[in-house]
Amino acid sequence: MSGLFRSRLGRALATGGGSGVIAILLLLGGVFDGAERSSYDMRARAFTTARDGEDEVVLILVDEQSLEWALEAQGQSWPWPRAYYAAIADFAARANVASLTFDVIYSDDSFYGVGDDQVFADAVERQGRTVAAVFYGRETGREEPFPDYLPRERATVSMDSADLDRMRSVERALFPVPELSAAAAAFGNVSIAPDPDGIYRRSPLVSSFRGDAVPSLALAAWFVGVSETEEGVAAAGLTNDAAALSAHTLRLSERSASVGDLTIPLDRSANMIVRFEAGARERERFSAAGIIQSEIRLASGSEESPVVHPEELEGRHVMVGFSAAGLYDLRPMPVDGAAAGVEFHAAMLENLLSGRFMRQASPVVDLLYVVVLAFIAGFATAMVRSLSATVVALVGAPLLPVILSSAAYAGGYWMPLVVPAAAGTIGAVSAAVLNYMTEGRERRFIKGAFSQYLSPAVIEKLLEDPSRLQLGGERRELTIFFSDLQGFTSLSEGLTPDELIALLNDYLSDMTDIVTDSGGTVDKFEGDAIIAFWNAPLDVPNHPQVAVSAALECQRRLDELRPAFRERVGRDLHMRIGMNTGEAVVGNMGSRSRFDYTMLGDAVNLAARLEGVNKQFGTYTMISESTASALSDGIACRELGRIAVVGRSEPVRVYEPMPADVYHAGRRRFQTFSEALARYYDGDFEGARADFLALADDPPAQKYAEKCRALAADPPESWNGVWVMESK
């Protein structure tokens, strides 16, 4: 086992596998079932949308306003006469609604006498598309079969007996009074049970009542609504007589039920999970008082305008229910903690009408889903190396299940969220702790050992892959930087050791910060000298431009520091820089026990020589032609000449770089220098000398004037314009 944890891949596999095992235990143990249901409600609320246009299902609610109107305007206390509901049925008939459903159980005779029940029944019969509520239960209700007065064919659907055995079985019922039972077009079950946390999320599509399949209130309303027109029958794939629910056949498969062409997904207990697509309180609703008043005015021929016009309900599915708090029909639902019970049936009917449902995956799919997500969280966290990547992995462990489960909800699937998030977080944290324990010591050693010598970029590379701490290198194009302080040897002789070290530390710190901040790697320090390069170990796009910009910034920073340094040492400090771009071998070089990340090659030697050549020209920054040719806007150069350095037979053109604005400010002077240099190349030493002497304040021009005087006094036998450097 210790060998397994020694490698990063082994740790990743172990922690990922452990996360998967935890996910299995959490899922099968039901530890987070309550939290999972709450997370589902959060998704339901997050994905509800504002309604756009008319609702297909609308509500007529006996609300507080209706109770107040009845009491104040009619002197009518609760319970209402059923003649009030008759007025609602007559208004629905006048509006030609698709269906009218009462989420009210009229199981007892009216308080106002049998005649009141008959008035209501007559209105229901006139309306012709009314669904009445029946309560089917296991403990609540009366132990009785279908009564003789209730048309059984309007209360049941056809279903195979084997399928029926899989549905919820009930033995008790509360049926409407005989008058209403004889008049209603269909009957639906209003009995729904909450989940263990008391929230209503699902309902049986049909229930088994004494060997018969009885539909839910919403399914009965759907049958009545779509069966009233030929178009509705065709759209739903129904071909049977719509006047009898029993003419319709419901077929059950493993995880769904089908009626005609409509397939309705079911959960593992054969319940339909209701998909709440809009906030419950956003569904269009009408006060029962307004509907009743409107029917009274329209029926009496009153000139007073109705509160609600029939056209507002035409062709729509209407459900009647209670929302007043004192009527005790408020239920907690995912989108509303205290919604009218009829809202649940309305949402269920909307699902049936739109064909948009909520599905639950099979237990096997759920198990695979949580295991894979948990494994990814543990595995990914164990594989990452940097602190930032570890933080991202730790955040992503719970965030990925949130994103995927939310996306699944939007697509109509209830996928677990809490279990994969919890298991993934446990796995990710475990992986991070394990990485820290097994690699923390090694990382701290590398940082401590090399932070004083290598750039942060190189250190990060080593931390990501400690195997790079081996001998070996690669050939890369680099831009190479050598710098030295002018006259530092004589300067150091006048300082105490403490003063010298303090001066060097201050100087080198500022220069090194500029180099490393630009992406450069400091190779080494040799006394006051700095050796650095760009484009290794990390790629630096356009590295010549970046490197020369850093060199100019070093000179600018030294200009700022010069007054303070003068006070400390009694003289000005100047830095000479030589730079070249070319291929070099770069990597870890040295012995097996001690090595440095460094470079070597002819390109490196040339950069070192150019630093020294500055002495010959009186300049402080010199770059080769290969570096100058790669520069772009912002940096200008003047050609200093063609030189042959010590140890290199092939001549090279060299340039002095400067900020573009500095070049443009001295353009006339640089043009004169360029013309004098052209005469020098042509062998016109006297003419060139005269032009150079005209640039009295330009050190390179004065150096060339002296060179031209010597050449004019002793002309060479052959001339190629190359200035041969005789010293380093």
Per-position DSSP letters for 111-171, written without gaps between them: TT-HHHHHHHHHHHHHH--EEEEEEEESSSSBS----TTS-GGGT-BEE-HHHHTTSEEE-
pLDDT > 90? residue 425: no
Angle at 720 between CA 714 and CA 724, to 5 degrees: 70
Which pLDDT does position 537 carry in this prediction? 82
pLDDT > 70? residue 468: no
The pLDDT confidence band at residue 457, using thresholds 50, 70 and 90, is low
Phi then psi dihedrals of residue 652, to 5 deg: -140, 140
Average pLDDT over residues 641-668: 92
* Domain stops at, among 325, 343, 359: 359
536 burial level (CB within 10 Å; 0-12, 13-18, 19+): buried
pLDDT > 50? residue 4: no
Phi then psi dihedrals of residue 268, to 5 deg: -70, -15
Instruction: Evaluate whether residue 201 is within a structural domain.
Output: yes
Average pLDDT over residues 179-205: 94
Q: From its phi and psi, is residue 209 left (phi > 0), alpha (psi between -120 and 50) or beta?
A: beta
Same domain, 139 and 180: yes
| Exposed e or buried b per residue across 334-362, where buried means at least 16 C-beta atoms within 10 angstroms of its C-beta | bbbeebbbbbbbbbbbbbbbeeebbbbbe
611 burial level (CB within 10 Å; 0-12, 13-18, 19+): buried
pLDDT > 60? residue 1: no
Same domain, 646 and 602: yes
Cα–Cα distance for residue pair 22/374, rounded to 1 Å: 8
Instruction: Evaluate whether residue 369 is within a structural domain.
Output: yes
Same domain, 371 and 397: yes
Nearest one of 727, 726, 10, 26 to 371, comparing CA atoms: 26
The winner for highest mean pLDDT among 299-303, 451-455, 588-592, 660-664 is 660-664
Please report, for residues 174, 338, 506, the alpha-carbon distance to residue 107 in angstroms, rounded to integers and kept in the order given.
6, 25, 95
* Domain stops at, among 325, 359, 393: 359
Nearest one of 104, 60, 54 to 278, comparing CA atoms: 54
The pLDDT confidence band at residue 382, using thresholds 50, 70 and 90, is low
Same domain, 379 and 486: no
Same domain, 177 and 310: yes
Same domain, 394 and 460: no
Q: Name the domain count of the chain.
A: 3
Instruction: Evaluate whether residue 73 is within a structural domain.
Output: yes
pLDDT > 50? residue 454: yes
pLDDT > 80? residue 686: yes
DSSP 468: G
For the chain, the first-to-last Cα distance in angstroms comes to 60
Instruction: Evaluate whether residue 597 is within a structural domain.
Output: yes
Cα–Cα distance for residue pair 432/53, rounded to 1 Å: 51
Same domain, 162 and 306: yes
Average pLDDT over residues 406-414: 89
Same domain, 592 and 469: yes
Which pLDDT does position 241 carry in this prediction? 46
32, 418 Cβ separation under 8 angstroms: yes
Which pLDDT does position 23 carry in this prediction? 73
Average pLDDT over residues 526-544: 92
Same domain, 197 and 308: yes
Please report, for residues 577, 621, 655, the alpha-carbon distance to residue 611 in angstroms, rounded to integers and kept in the order given.
5, 8, 12
* Domain stops at, among 650, 665, 680: 665
**Which has more confidence, 443 or 79?**
79
pLDDT > 80? residue 404: yes
Domain range enclosing 391: 2-31+365-450
- State pLDDT tens for residues 334-379: 988 888 899 999 999 999 999 999 998 888 888 888 888 777 777 7
Phi then psi dihedrals of residue 157, to 5 deg: -120, 155
Cα–Cα distance for residue pair 587/594, rounded to 1 Å: 13
Which pLDDT does position 421 carry in this prediction? 82
- State pLDDT tens for residues 551-564: 999 999 999 999 99
- DSSP state string for 645-712: -TT--S-EEEEEEEEHHHHHHTHHHHHHHHHHHHHHHHT-HHHHHHHHHT-TT-HHHHHHHHHHHHHH
What CATH number is given to the structural domain containing 485?
3.30.70.1230
* H/E stretch holding 584: strand 575-590
pLDDT > 60? residue 469: no
Instruction: Evaluate whether residue 692 is within a structural domain.
Output: no
For 375, the 3-state DSSP assignment is helix
Please report, for residues 44, 417, 428, the alpha-carbon distance to residue 406 in angstroms, rounded to integers and kept in the order given.
9, 8, 21
Mean pLDDT rounded to a whole number for the chain: 86
Average pLDDT over residues 585-593: 77
Residue reference for tokens 């989940």? 195
Same domain, 335 and 406: no
711, 685 Cβ separation under 8 angstroms: yes
632 burial level (CB within 10 Å; 0-12, 13-18, 19+): exposed
Average pLDDT over residues 79-87: 95
Which pLDDT does position 247 carry in this prediction? 78
Average pLDDT over residues 665-685: 95
Same domain, 218 and 333: yes
Cα–Cα distance for residue pair 233/229, rounded to 1 Å: 6
pLDDT > 90? residue 395: no
Residues 13, 14, 19, 24, Cα dihedral to 10°: 100
Instruction: Evaluate whether residue 96 is within a structural domain.
Output: yes
Same domain, 65 and 14: no
Average pLDDT over residues 413-422: 85
- DSSP state string for 217-258: HHHHHHHHHHTTSHHHHHHHT--S-TT-GGGSEEEE-SSEEE
Instruction: Evaluate whether residue 703 is within a structural domain.
Output: no
134, 214 Cβ separation under 8 angstroms: yes
Give CA 575 to chain center in angstroms: 50
**Sign of the torsion formed by the C-alpha atoms of 264, 270, 273 and 274:** positive
Average pLDDT over residues 475-504: 91
Instruction: Evaluate whether residue 652 is within a structural domain.
Output: yes
pLDDT > 70? residue 2: no
Out of 35-44, 331-340, 449-458, 511-520, which region has the weakest mean confidence (pLDDT)? 449-458
**Which has more confidence, 160 or 545?**
545
109 burial level (CB within 10 Å; 0-12, 13-18, 19+): middle
- State what percent of residues in the chain have pLDDT above 70: 87
